[in-house]
Amino acid sequence: MLTKKAKYGVKAMLHLARLDYGQSAFVATIAERNDLPKKFLDAILTDLRNAGLLLSKKGRNGGYTLAKRPEDISMGAIIRALDGPLAPIACASRTSYVPCSDCGPIEQCEIRLMMLDVREAIANVLDHRTLAELRDARGDLMASFVYQI
């Protein structure tokens, strides 16, 4: 399930993707125009900056800007930066694998095998869709995006 943190992060990234490339926006502006809580958004944008997806600058001409072109930012990168691994259970994760304490050999666990498929399906959608596609398609892609997840 997509958390509010990731949803708000995607909304903020879309806001920045709709600006001219390299143009920045203040947190307060992004929060106000997207009806997001500013304090929570501050933390979200910091996480996205720490993940290398945003740049920030202080001062009168400061704010946040995309670190890469929207065409080069996958939805998977945004979601992982905010929600962590895509796998629904830790034993199906590629990046944060942790074996289940209540299972036998992982090769024989039916639940893990199914969750590996789920993880691959989610990653296939999120890693092959860019911020630019989401920005440009609006309703059509968003409906497809939501349907596929």
Cα separation of 76 and 125, whole Å? 8
Q: What are phi and psi of 128, to 5 degrees?
A: -110, 10
State which residues form the domain around 49. Answer: 4-66
pLDDT in tens, 24-73: 999 999 999 999 999 999 999 999 999 999 999 988 878 999 999 999 99
Identify whether 47 is part of a domain: yes
Instruction: Give the pLDDT band of residue 146 (cuts 50, 70, 90).
Output: low
Is there a single domain that holds both residue 23 and residue 56?
A: yes
Identify whether 75 is part of a domain: no
Is there a single domain that holds both residue 27 and residue 62?
A: yes
pLDDT in tens, 97-123: 887 888 777 777 888 888 889 999 999
Closest by CA to 26, choosing from 50, 3, 2, 60, is: 60
pLDDT at 142 over 70: no
Residue that is last in its domain, among 66, 101, 117: 66
Is there a single domain that holds both residue 54 and residue 90?
A: no
pLDDT score for 143 = 54
User: Whole-model pTM?
Assistant: 0.84
Given a contact cutoff of 8 angstroms between Cβ atoms, the answer to whether 81 and 8 are in contact is no
Can you give the CATH number for the domain in which 38 is found?
Answer: 1.10.10.10
